[in-house]
Structure 1
């Protein structure tokens, strides 16, 4: 990094051209720029691509949808609320997206037929409209247009390429762009992903990355993918929803395959699915000179029940092939800069946590940037929580992805590890819905600031030692399985026992029962859960669940009345 005084530019002596420069016009960068511009922050958005590119992060899980709704109402950007549901996206953004009614998991053994008992499914509650599968090219282009409409100065192509960066901690930032321009600002946020120019210029990447997990991936969009429900192995085996109604994970020892359909709703105008194969490179190293299509076909030859989904499938765009997916940074927030979203680090697309993490970061960072633009305090301590939050996100997902890949060797253990993810994503969505409902009643931003807890950043239950120990316990047990000092059966029993003893979960949800492989909030289960909330739940958990359930019912009624 070159540190030198930044010359003032603009119409007044001593004024910078912008308050904030956001680098990266993808989902997180464009949404952040829109929120900042809407909040009166002088914002420039730089994107080196002339048009949006293919990007991973296509499943809007209910937790992410709740965060998008919160951001829309907190910052007065209703366009973010359109992203919460398939209906909203189809109406306001793109007819090329799909619907996400749940997450399906089908376990496979190489060379063998799929066993119908080795399936799991997490279905969204019926009171919530289905979130979308986001066709990112359309969605990212829409958000970039929203940012421009709110007043952000959007620069793309050479004018949006960061050719150089200078930071003067006491005054601001100068960004030199590919067209020879020099832009100055009080602060820079890098949301440009792995190729982060701020991380490159400041030497922030860690080698090796701090992740315990190892994976690589090859992915594309395809046409002609047969819904798994229409293959012999995928026919109905008691699961509450069709596999093609949501995001499907085919899991096997050493990796997993995603199928994210954009063609699974009558109102969708797409014929495509997102398809990606993610592998442990220590088990499945890349073969020099082999094409990604050849590697994909070789994988299908080992798993015949998966292959039937792809009998007529054809890639609609070139394959993207990665090396190791994991990367991390030694510092995320410093004098006059912040790495946000996938610029900070990445673990694995497993469980579709990327969009939720990006939205959490946008929510926490935007408030601080808006306040800084008003009071002139751009000091690093103001943004320290954003670093803590993103480090906690990375660590939690690394624990979960690592544990899951270990568990892929044994269905019983994977069935248990899956409960750790289900508990966290369900409670996360409920915590955000509770806060959104409270904010709607009071209009007091302190309600939302209370979501931030320095002990357990991003945790839906920061006061519960039991909950906050569940992820690390799952990782530790799976590490013992990997080392050969504990059997998969014993590790699974320990996880299920821990979930059963949780005082923050209604027993009616069945999360502690290995035989209950379908998490589906039926009306009967909801009634039993409501009774538990009234009679047996701890006070803090009862308040959270009552607030969230009331908020969800009000949102459902609001949805039935139609858009305002």
Structure 2
């Protein structure tokens, strides 16, 4: 079966709605229960936001066209995700959310069907050639520090949905929205079966088929995304750990591939392998598998997704070593171009969040992180609005700047990465830019969390929003933004045929080496430093660098 969808990280179904006009809006219409906030979409974003709001006294209506449990991908967490999860749990006094911030917490309290994530692994392939064991990269998540997760989303999404209901959110599943009206006094939602619901504010967490985006024509046409890709994905059983594959025998990476999220990368795309069976006592035999391709060079054809996947494996027999005994256990999902964006994500009495606002690519697992970022900044505004009655668009303007910034950061990363996929040296260089974009912001939010825990000073977290680069936190935002812009323009020159890939790689590596905001002991600018592991010894060296050599605005991260 070939199901068409647009967002691999948040697969949810919503139908088109009809337009109805001319209904006067006002709060608390007699005969109809009014809510402070109505949330469209009861997946991870909607459940998370609903739980936070309901816990803090906001009257929430949680609406979804589907029911739980249900399939979703976007399973891989990153250290930034977990740091933001802890912040949201503590800031909004929802301790049950913190379980999602650790492997042990997920296993014990949320879903024993989930897997572990101890690394980001990247193996580079050339069609028609044996895999070069020197052309691998890995970023290890230090086990002594934390373990990330491969979330079995049908369990984690249901956990958050039920948490929201437990705290008082009103659930309305199996309900399709036929029309939306917003105005100075609130929101009117008409359901397909004729019922009406009113709220003071509307948050759309519904994914690509966003009813709000459609109603108010918010999609950017064409999207500003430079990146191009489509995807096909499923869950499989019988996937062989790549560490057991003959082509992996010569690899010397510090962490087993099977202990993390594995990316097979090649000119024109990448393939993810996300196992749920990769830890002692694992209950699940499943593995999430997805193939992402530049749709301009690999357009959707007449073949079924399974046939297309099999044809891809025939071209890359050393990737196929993982799949000799594998079979899909649910229908494939196949998409057209994944990228979409919105001209605005905030308007009168409404906000688009997460994948309702836009989507780029599943590469680097930033989808869940972006969701946590938006929930963290949106929730306190909604809570205060429910108390003081100020639902003005200006109050929520930062949320639009944040989401547009998050979108552009990720587009720069994946666009540059896909250009790099055509030449290992350039890919090796672009990957260091991603590492910088991952490591330094994580240090920033983890420091903010530690300071917040000392005295629960709300201003510490609100100060994270005081940045000239929404989507990247201060004090590292401007440095990383400049590095991303340099990398993007360099890769654009390669794509235009104006610059050789090898020269582009040298320039990007030189820029990384010259970046004074990056800890020198990390050696991110060394092309031979292909596997990065933050050992206690290395972190000790970085702390010393932070105290003695770091620029003043970076030194405070090490204090």
Offset of residue 10 of structure 1: 6.5
Structure 2 counterpart of 1:41: 58
**Aligned-partner Cα distance in 2 for 1:156–1:50:** 6
1:64-106, Cα deviation, whole Å (9 max, x unpaired): 0111011000001112111111110010011110001010000
- Root mean square deviation, CA, Å: 1.5
Offset of residue 537 of structure 1: 1.5
Q: Indicate whether 1:285 and 2:299 are aligned.
A: yes
1:365 to 369, 378, 387: 378
Structure 1 counterpart of 2:121: 104
Offset of residue 166 of structure 1: 1.1
Structure 2 counterpart of 1:450: 463
Structure 2 counterpart of 1:561: none
Q: Indicate whether 1:413 and 2:426 are aligned.
A: yes
| 8 A contact 1:254–1:283 mirrored in 2 | yes
Offset of residue 493 of structure 1: 1.1
Offset of residue 11 of structure 1: 7.5
Map 1:187-266 to 2 at 5 A.
187-235=201-249, 237-266=251-280
1:510-543, Cα deviation, whole Å (9 max, x unpaired): 2110000011011221121121122111233122
**Aligned-partner Cα distance in 1 for 2:428–2:518:** 18
**Aligned-partner Cα distance in 1 for 2:364–2:477:** 23
**Aligned-partner Cα distance in 1 for 2:225–2:477:** 25
Offset of residue 4 of structure 1: 4.3
Map 1:124-203 to 2 at 5 A.
124-158=141-175, 161-168=176-183, 170-203=184-217
Q: Indicate whether 1:93 and 2:107 are aligned.
A: no
Q: Indicate whether 1:348 and 2:355 are aligned.
A: no
3-state SS of 1:195 partner: coil
| 8 A contact 2:238–2:327 mirrored in 1 | yes
1:26 to 43, 68, 89: 43
Larger mean CA deviation between 178-187 and 328-337 belongs to 178-187
**Aligned-partner Cα distance in 2 for 1:150–1:197:** 26
| 8 A contact 1:510–1:519 mirrored in 2 | no
Structure 2 counterpart of 1:5: 24
Map 1:367-386 to 2 at 5 A.
367-386=380-399
TM-score (norm 1): 0.93
Instruction: Report how many residues are paired.
Output: 540
| 8 A contact 1:90–1:268 mirrored in 2 | no
Structure 1 counterpart of 2:343: 330
Offset of residue 256 of structure 1: 0.3
Offset of residue 167 of structure 1: 1.1
3-state SS of 1:450 partner: helix
| 8 A contact 2:467–2:473 mirrored in 1 | no
3-state SS of 1:157 partner: coil
| 8 A contact 1:30–1:140 mirrored in 2 | yes
1:531-557, Cα deviation, whole Å (9 max, x unpaired): 1122111233122133xxxxxxxxxxx
| 8 A contact 2:27–2:199 mirrored in 1 | no
Offset of residue 220 of structure 1: 0.2
| 8 A contact 2:475–2:554 mirrored in 1 | no
**Aligned-partner Cα distance in 2 for 1:127–1:531:** 20
**Aligned-partner Cα distance in 2 for 1:376–1:236:** 63
TM-score (norm 2): 0.94
Map 1:115-126 to 2 at 5 A.
115-126=132-143
**Aligned-partner Cα distance in 1 for 2:234–2:417:** 23
Map 1:302-341 to 2 at 5 A.
302-341=315-354
In structure 2, runs of 5+ residues without a counterpart are 1-18
Structure 1 counterpart of 2:7: none
Structure 2 counterpart of 1:79: 96
In structure 1, runs of 5+ residues without a counterpart are 547-564
3-state SS of 1:193 partner: coil
Offset of residue 277 of structure 1: 0.2
**Aligned-partner Cα distance in 2 for 1:248–1:480:** 29
Offset of residue 180 of structure 1: 2.6
**Aligned-partner Cα distance in 1 for 2:306–2:492:** 33
| 8 A contact 1:212–1:402 mirrored in 2 | yes
3-state SS of 1:183 partner: strand
* Structure 1 residues 303 and 122: alpha-carbon distance in aligned structure 2, compared to 1, 3 A threshold: same
Structure 2 counterpart of 1:460: 473
**Aligned-partner Cα distance in 1 for 2:263–2:29:** 52
Map 1:505-544 to 2 at 5 A.
505-544=518-557
3-state SS of 2:168 partner: coil
Structure 2 counterpart of 1:486: 499
Map 1:258-277 to 2 at 5 A.
258-277=272-291
2:411 to 375, 378, 398: 398
